[in-house]
Amino acid sequence: MDIAAYVLVGAGGLILAFAGLHGFENKSVTIIAFGAGAILIIIGGCCYWQDTIWKTEASQAVKPQQARDQGALMVVDSVAGEPLEPEIGQTFRIIVKFINRGHSPAKKVRIVAVADPVASGESPNLVYSGDPTLRVGSVTQSVEHQVTLFPVKSKSTGEERPLTQELFDAMRTGRTRIFVHGRIDYEDADELHWTTFCYFLITPFNGHFGLWTEATNQTDD
pLDDT tops 90 at residue 30: no
The whole-number pLDDT of residue 122 equals 94
pLDDT tops 80 at residue 218: yes
Domain boundary among 17, 49, 69: 69
Residue 190 and residue 192: Cα distance in Å, rounded? 7
Residue 180 sits in which domain range?
Answer: 74-219
With residue 147 as reference, give the H or E element that holds it.
strand 144-149
- Same domain? 53 vs 111: no
- Same domain? 49 vs 109: no
**Pairing mode of beta strands 134-139, 93-100:** unpaired
The tens digit of pLDDT for each residue in 53-108 reads: 545 554 444 344 444 566 899 999 999 999 988 999 999 999 999 999 999 999 99
Q: How many domains does the chain have?
A: 2
- Same domain? 116 vs 188: yes
The tens digit of pLDDT for each residue in 31-54 reads: 554 555 456 456 655 555 555 554
- Same domain? 29 vs 61: yes
- Same domain? 53 vs 98: no
The tens digit of pLDDT for each residue in 128-175 reads: 988 999 999 999 998 899 999 999 888 788 789 999 999 999 999 999
Domain boundary among 54, 69, 84: 69
The whole-number pLDDT of residue 42 equals 61
- Same domain? 209 vs 191: yes
- The three-state secondary structure class of 135 is strand
Residue 136 and residue 9: Cα distance in Å, rounded? 60
- Same domain? 54 vs 84: no
The whole-number pLDDT of residue 65 equals 47
- Same domain? 51 vs 95: no
Axis crossing angle, helix 2-22 with helix 27-69, rounded to the nearest 10:
160
Domain boundary among 37, 69, 101: 69
- Same domain? 148 vs 167: yes
- Same domain? 45 vs 78: no
Residue 110 and residue 112: Cα distance in Å, rounded? 7
Mean pLDDT of 121-133: 92
Supply the mean pLDDT for the chain.
79
With residue 56 as reference, give the H or E element that holds it.
helix 27-69
- Same domain? 65 vs 80: no
Picking from 152, 170, 143, 135, the residue whose alpha carbon sits closest to that of residue 94 is 152
The whole-number pLDDT of residue 40 equals 47
Q: Which residues of 112-140 are buried (b: 16+ CB within 10 A; e: fewer)?
A: bbbbbbeeeeeebebeeeeeeeeebeebe
- Same domain? 119 vs 171: yes
